Structure 1
Amino acid sequence: MMYGWYGGAGVWGWVVMGIVMLLFWGGVAAVVVLLVRGSRGGWGGRGTYPPGPQQEDPEHILAQRFARGEIDETEYRARLDALRRRP
């Protein structure tokens, strides 16, 4: 008795056909994912995103506070000297 078309592929024919089908649909899914990622045009035009918020150095923060008038010049210089003296 024949279990398939054209002489029967047998069990191994079905196994191979199933593996090929999985590889085919996996390839289609991979192409779709790559196309979607590439079309986003994120940071740098390569589909990547910018790094997280960068930490500012303490001297820069202190200079900003002085520029905004939150601290006076005496306090600014004292804190700047303290920052530069630390190990």
Structure 2
Amino acid sequence: MGWMMTGMGIWTLLGGLLLVALLGLAVVAVAAVLRSRAPGGLPPGGRRGPEEAREILRRRYAAGEIDEDEFWRRMSGINAE
């Protein structure tokens, strides 16, 4: 009966590790979904389009987060793409 208990202990350990891995995967998946749906989150491709980038720059300039020089420098970078 001693050898049976050793085998069951290994399966219990492997089951526990699998459970922890699945829970970790679920947490990562939920975080990815929430991040993609958050305002200002990146779209599924991971890049914003030029129009969206221009709009963000306009808002930041209007809010005073960036100055005019920075606005035009970044805008020219978007237009160059």
TM-score range, shorter chain: 0.3 to 0.5
Q: TM-score, normalised by structure 2?
A: 0.47
Larger CA Rg, structure 1 vs 2: 1
**Bigger relative contact order, structure 1 or 2 (CA pairs below 8 A, ≥6 apart):** 2
Q: Which has the higher helix share?
A: 2
Q: TM-score, normalised by structure 1?
A: 0.44
